[in-house]
Amino acid sequence: MLEIKNLHTQFSTANGLLRAVDGVSFALHQRAAIGIVGESGSGKSVTALSILRLFGPLDKVSIRGEILFEGIDLVRLSETELRRIRGSKIAVVFQDPLTSLNPVMPVGEQIAETLRFHRRLNKAAAKARTLELMELVGIGEVARRYGDLPEQFSGGMRQRIMIAIAIACEPKLLIADEPTTALDVTVQSQVLMLLNRLRDELGMALIMISHDLGVIAATCDFVQVMYGGRVVERGHIQEILNRPNHPYTAALLRLVPRIDGPVQRKLNPIPGQPTPIFASVRGCCFAARCEFVTERCRTDDPPMHDFGNHHVSACWLAEERELGALTTKSTRITK
Amino acid sequence: MRRFVSFVPFVVNSFFMNDATPTTTAARTKPLLSVKDLVVRYTLGPGRVLTAVDQVSFELHPGETLGLVGESGCGKSSLARAVLQLIRPASGNVTFLGQELTRLNGAALRSMRRQMQIVFQDPRGSLNPRWRVGRIVEEPLRVHRLAERDQRKRMAHAMLAQVGLAPAYFEQRPAQLSGGQQQRVGIARALVTRPKLVVCDEPVSSLDVSIQAQILNLLQGLKEELGVSYLFVAHNLGVVRSLSDRVAVMYLGQFVETAPSAALFERPLHPYTMGLIASVLRPDLSARAQLDRAASYAAGDIPGLLHAPPGCRYHTRCPYAQQRCREQRPALEKVDGQDSHQVACHYWREIARNA
């Protein structure tokens, strides 16, 4: 249903050309859910935003590659044509409902707006359908709350309103960009449950972007790990969580502060920090911080090693690691 | 990054005349900080008063880390700032190093600040963007007149080394540093006067997981090297668990449970604590099932402080709520006669029995 081929998204900035997405390819089938995980600067958000070209009017962005949605290359579409897809066939739920919702427009009307634009419903029909949607996403007393402003709702409720707007036209694909990061943790579970339920009922595919592997584990079938604008590993959730191959994936899993198991007073962090990609990086994007780095890693781009069963890893040492020949030096503690 | 451990603290400590560590047993077990019935209020307008902290009491001992956890509106940040007198409490006592802070003002309060510092959540917002890193770290030494110019510079350099920043960073401005590096500067600034108490207000919340791990390691290491006590405010339970000796859980301005870290996670007694713990999604295959469990402990949304429910404030979301909970606010009770584990719930025994 969605096929992204060799996507390159670049921004012209005051500091030079920023390669936010540096050659990313993946596919997503109907009803499937893929989580994209990575830290700041990994390119996970920009990848998803590139699908719908959701950039600001002042962003000098160039997108190269193919984004095939139901056979049509979205990169080639005009703004008018793309607008017909945004909100109807492909919808987005953003991180911060406070900045994504219109603060001076009643929430009911914000939901109805989508229906009137894409489905050409008249005012009455749109309102009726909106009230149904508000019930569906768990907002109580819908008749009364239809006319309320976003500020009169809690964070969790505002996010439900965003979700209602997103699913109003029953999209084939839902992109959720850190949808629960700004919410309290006890509210997060409810919103994620709602997303799971809606996905089942409406048969949507999902791209979930998050820095939190727990959130992805609770909502997705596949997970794709990104670093430095590139994909470093991808596979079924079970596979990646149990047997991560790429050193970065393994490190991310190891560094999640746990509430179960033995208390880890000292973690074994990855040294250094992620740097934005300005120049063309030769070699593996993670080479500068990898504890297993070899000379070849620094000079040649690692191939995408395919283990079968949809599990791929971009590492020169993928095979050795798979066979358990290399293990993390977990006893070495660094500041 | 290498640890500049052994000789640095000795060299720097010799500059401090008052830096006496308690030598007698009595001094060691006396609390460093004692907070009693603290109340913090904000006036939002005529007749609209928000009680952000509602009669909170606790003690902190030398070298101990107390974690303060809770979600939006629980009052943990207000509590932490009121302890330091960055916000003045409406009532209650804060006794630090034998002094009653609520009664101090001006120069007397300022001189206490040498011993109590804070690391903020947003390093970008808390570092003066026009000052160089070196000057930022030297500032507390200058304000408290702890050293002359050359010595200050040496001490600032030593402190930067201790937080893992190379000498080259001394001359840079905060904007030239990454988030993690900026936070290291914030930590250096807080520790350069060798305070006995450091409030860490969500110090890693804005950092990526891999950087978060570095900063947590740093805080742990400094705690071991310098014997400093932390009041560690965070909403991430995993982070709190890794650093804290004891944890206090807050909800809408009140403590609902306090316990040693291990006990809190192994045997949480308050339904809200159970809900918080259940809401931390472990990245493993049971994650989807965890969602169900989490949602069952904490239904609905957190009410705003202005609409704090009567009786037990948690009753609107609690799966075990009874009539008594709607009417009567539960007091903190000791568990098994222990001071260390306390819970504010009318029915905690019954709930624990059936768990």
| pLDDT bucket at B9, cuts 50 / 70 / 90 | very low
Q: Are B47 and B215 in contact (CB under 8 A)?
A: no
Q: Which of A154, A189, A266 sits opposite B295 (nearest CB)?
A: A189
Strands (E), B167-265: 197-201, 229-234, 246-251, 254-260
Identity of the residue numbered A156: G
- Residue A3, H or E segment: strand A2-13
User: Of A157, A214, A265, which has the smallest distance from its Cβ to B282's Cβ?
Assistant: A214
Locate the chain B residue with the closest alpha carbon to A39.
B208
A292 vs B119, which has greater pLDDT?
B119
Q: What is the pLDDT of residue A326?
A: 53
The edge-to-edge listing of strands for the beta sheet with A90-93 is A90-93, A173-177, A205-210, A33-37, A222-227, A230-236, A312-314, A304-306
Determine the length of chain A.
Answer: 335
Please report the beta strands in A50-203, taking only residues with DSSP state E, as ranges in sequence order. 61-69, 72-73, 90-93, 173-177
Kindly compute the dihedral angle of the four CA atoms of residues A307, A310, A316, A319, in this order, to the nearest 10 degrees: -20
Hey, which residues 295-314 in chain B have their CB within 8 Å of chain A?
295, 297-299, 301-302, 304
Nearest to B194 by CA among B31, B15, B59, B27: B15
**B291 touches A at CB < 8 Å:** yes
- Residue A223 CB partners (closer than 8 Å, separation 6+): A34, A35, A36, A37, A213, A216, A217, A234, A235, A237, A240, A241
How far from the centroid of its chain's Cα atoms is residue A269's Cα?
24
Task: List all residues of chain B from 249 to 268 with a beta carbon under 8 Å from chain A.
Answer: 261-262, 265
Cβ–Cβ below 8 Å for B301 and A256: no
Residue pairs between chains A and B whose CB atoms are closer than 8 Å: 157
Q: Test B217 with A333 for CB contact under 8 angstroms.
A: yes
Q: Please report, rounded to a whole number, the percentage of residues in chain B having pLDDT higher than 90.
A: 61
Residues 6+ apart with CB under 8 A from B97: B32, B112, B115, B196
Our CA-based measurement puts residue A81 at a distance from the nearest CA of chain B, in whole angstroms, of: 37
Residues ≥6 apart with Cβ < 8 Å to B6: none
For the beta carbon of residue B162, count every other beta carbon within 10 angstroms.
25
Return the amino acid letter for A11: F
List of chain A residues whose C-beta atoms are within 8 Å of the C-beta of residue B282: 214, 217, 258-260
> Mean pLDDT score of chain B, rounded to an integer?
87
List Cα–Cα distances, B202 to A100, B123, B199, B282, in angstroms.
25, 11, 9, 21
Q: Do B220 and A266 touch (CB under 8 A)?
A: yes
Residue appearing with tokens 């490190």 = A251
pLDDT at position A324 = 61
d(C-alpha A61, C-alpha A49), whole Å:
11
Distance (Å) of CA A229 to CA A175, A253, B216, B271: 18, 20, 27, 42
Please tell me the distance from the alpha carbon of residue A209 to that of residue A175, in angstroms, as a whole number. 8
Q: Hey, is B197 helix, strand or coil? A: strand
The answer to whether the Cβ–Cβ distance between B288 and A218 falls below 8 Å is yes
Q: Which of B262, B265, B279 minimises the CB distance to A186?
A: B279
Q: Which residue of A has its CA nearest to B178?
A: A273
Tell me the C-alpha distance between A121 and B198, whole Å: 59
- In the three-class reduction of DSSP (H, G, I as helix; E, B as strand; rest coil), residue A184 is classed as coil
Inter-residue contact A5 to A65 (CB < 8 Å): yes
**Residue A212 dihedral angles phi and psi, to the nearest 5°:** -105, 110
A196 contact residues in B (CB cutoff 8 A) = 288, 291
Distance from the Cα of B70 to chain A's closest Cα (Å) equals 9
Question: Nearest 5°: CA angle at B7, between B4 and B13?
Answer: 110
- One-letter identity of residue A10: Q
**Whether pLDDT at B20 is above 70:** no
CA of A236: which chain B residue's CA is closest? Answer: B285
* Cβ–Cβ contact A152 with B under 8 A: no
Distances (CA, A) of A76 to A43, A64, B352: 21, 10, 61
pLDDT at B274 over 70: yes
Q: How far is A25 from chain B (nearest CA, A)?
A: 25
| Packing angle of the helix pair B209-226, A247-255 (nearest 10 deg) | 50
Q: Would you tell me which residues 5-64 of chain B have a C-beta closer than 8 angstroms to some C-beta of chain A?
A: none
- Nearest CB among B3, B236, B297 relative to A335 is that of B3
Contact status of B352 with chain A (Cβ, < 8 Å): no
| ipTM for the complex shown | 0.81
- Contact list in B for residue A160 (CB cut-off 8 A) is none
pTM: 0.84
161-190 of A, contacting B, C-beta below 8 A:
184-190
Chain A interface includes B205 (CB < 8 A): no
| Contact map slice: A 202-241 vs B, CB within 8 A | 211-219, 237-238, 241
pLDDT tens digits along B194-229? 999 999 999 988 888 888 888 998 999 999 999 999
Distance CA B207, CA B179 (A): 7
Does any CB of chain B come closer than 8 Å to the CB of residue A200? no
Q: Please list, in sequence order, all residues whose beta carbon lies within 8 angstroms of the beta carbon of residue B305, skipping any fewer than 6 positions away.
A: B50, B51, B52, B73, B75, B252, B253
Mean pLDDT, rounded, for B154-161: 93
pLDDT at res. B302 = 82
Taking CA atoms, what residue in A is nearest to B289? A218
Supply the DSSP symbol for B175.
Answer: G
SS3 A173: strand
Q: Are B230 and B191 in contact, with CB atoms under 8 Å apart? A: no
Q: Which of A193, A256, A260 sits opposite B291 (nearest CB)?
A: A193
- Smallest Cα distance from B222 to chain A, Å: 11
What pLDDT does B19 receive? 40
Q: Which among A40, A213, A270 is the nearest to B283, CB-wise?
A: A213
Among the partner-chain residues B72, B236, B242, the one whose CB lies closest to the CB of A265 is: B242
CB contact (8 A) between residue B302 and residue A187:
yes
Residues 97-136 of B with CB under 8 A from A: none
What is the pLDDT at residue B34?
95
CA atoms A161, A163, A166, A167: torsion sign: negative
The pLDDT tens digits of the residues spanning B26-37 come to 344 789 999 999
CB contact under 8 A, A255 and B209: yes
Q: In this predicted model, what pLDDT tens digit does every residue of B59-78 receive, in sequence order?
A: 999 999 999 999 888 899 99
Token pair, residue A69, equals 């949605």
- Burial of B7: CB neighbours in 10 Å, binned 0-12, 13-18, 19+: exposed
> B288 φ, ψ to 5°?
-65, -40
Q: Return d(Cα A13, Cα A142) in angstroms, integer.
A: 45
Torsion sign over Cα B123, B59, A259, B313 = negative
**Would you state the structure tokens that stand for residue B338, as one six-digit string?**
């222990």
Q: Which residues of chain A have pLDDT under 70?
A: 279-280, 323-335
| pLDDT tens profile B221-249 | 999 999 999 999 988 888 898 899 999 99
Beta strand ranges found along chain B (DSSP E): 33-45, 48-60, 65-69, 91-96, 99-100, 116-119, 197-201, 229-234, 246-251, 254-260, 333-335, 338-343
Which of 23-62 (A) contact B at CB < 8 A?
Answer: 39-40
B238 contacts chain A (CB < 8 A)? yes
